[in-house]
Copies of this chain bind each other. A is one copy, B any other.
């Protein structure tokens, strides 16, 4: 139900159309919760049926501007305060690590080296966002920066891990 609450959270900032919301997702939330246009459409209709949002304006080009309702704010708040986050740290990249034993040591090291490079690219990207985005003092930007910092620290830790892991697989014969 995270998409649902993502939409409510964005609408808590002010009314928007599905199209606007898609861009907000792509600008700010894409690194933590990507969403596609074809998901927003039905989800917004569902939120409207449930009374969590309402159409506050209908413009040209079929545009429907949605606003959050009191019931929507209550649900958002309830989700944030009462519902414990699901931690489902599925990681395909890490799953592969378990199976590196089926490769030659050189190939395994190659995989870890590529991992390190990929995390470095991700870190560069996030640091660029941090340094180049026009951060305001608004609550949205403040917490956006805090979320970004989480990604930066995680990426940094994973770079070090991948380099350590590559080194760890060197100079050691495989066991039975």
A interface, CB within 8 angstroms of B: 2, 5-6, 9, 12, 28-29, 31-34, 73, 76-77, 79-81, 85-103, 107-108, 111, 115, 118, 122, 136-144, 146-147, 149-151, 153-154, 156-158, 160-161, 164-165, 168-169, 174-176
Contact = CB atoms under 8 A, between A and B. Distances in A.
Contact of A80 (B29, B111, B150, B169): B111
A176 B136 CA distance: 9
Interface of A is mostly: helix
B150 A158 contact: yes
Contact of A29 (B33, B87, B95, B111): B95
Given A153-B157, A158-B150, A32 B98 contact: yes
5 closest Cβ contacts across the A-B interface?
A: A101-B139, A137-B175, A9-B99, A157-B157, A85-B93
A134 to B, nearest CB: 13
A142 B165 CA distance: 10
A99 B12 contact: yes
A38 to B, nearest CB: 17
A96 B118 contact: no
Contacts of A29: 95, 98
Given A101-B139, A168-B146, A85 B96 contact: yes
A2 B137 CA distance: 42
B76 A99 contact: yes
